[in-house]
């Protein structure tokens, strides 16, 4: 499991990989998923390393709220508000978490079925 020094999304969030940000704020950045599951598929991640949702602490409350606000901002910029969109967080193996840096998936642009997988 990656720590901050060896973490793909830390590298992306720092700008080191030159990834284009769809939106950003003080504590979070948003960029396109490399393997999109919908016409719009954007990831929102904190700039600081947090491995998973379960690792959030009370000191992270402002950042956590910012992640949600940025997810909605992404949906607005992607033109998803009229049709609707979904925000997903996978935490742990059964949910299919593969990158161990907290991220919100923002999905839209098509009818999304089976909301609970």
Max CA separation in the chain (angstroms): 40
Binding part of the chain for Zn ion, among 15-23, 49-57, 64-72, 85-93 by CB under 5 A, reads 49-57
Residue 40 binds which entry of ligand AMP, Zn ion, none, with Cβ cut-offs from 5 to 8 Å by kind? Answer: none
Only one residue has tokens 């954007």, namely 42
In the range 52-111, which residues lie near Zn ion by CB under 5 A? 101
Task: Please answer whether residues 115 and 24 qualify as being in contact, where contact means their C-beta atoms are separated by less than 8 angstroms.
Answer: no
Give the HSE-up count for residue 81: Cα atoms under 13 Å, Cβ half-sphere. Answer: 6
Is 100 among the residues known to form the active site?
Answer: no
**Looking at the annotation, which residues are catalytic?**
103
- Residue ranges in contact with ligand AMP by CB under 6 A: 8, 33-35, 43, 90, 96-99
């Amino acid at each position: 499991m990656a720590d901050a020094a060896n973490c793909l999304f830390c590298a992306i969030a720092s700008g080191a990989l030159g990834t284009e940000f769809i939106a950003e704020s003080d504590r979070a950045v948003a960029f396109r998923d490399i393997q999109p599951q919908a016409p719009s598929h954007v990831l929102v991640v904190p700039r600081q390393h947090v491995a998973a949702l379960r690792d959030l602490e009370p000191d992270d409350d402002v950042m956590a709220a910012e992640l949600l606000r940025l997810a909605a901002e992404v949906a607005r910029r992607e033109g998803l508000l009229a049709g609707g969109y979904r925000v997903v967080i996978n935490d742990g193996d059964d949910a299919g978490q593969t990158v161990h840096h907290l991220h919100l998936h923002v999905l839209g642009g098509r009818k999304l079925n089976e909301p609970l997988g």
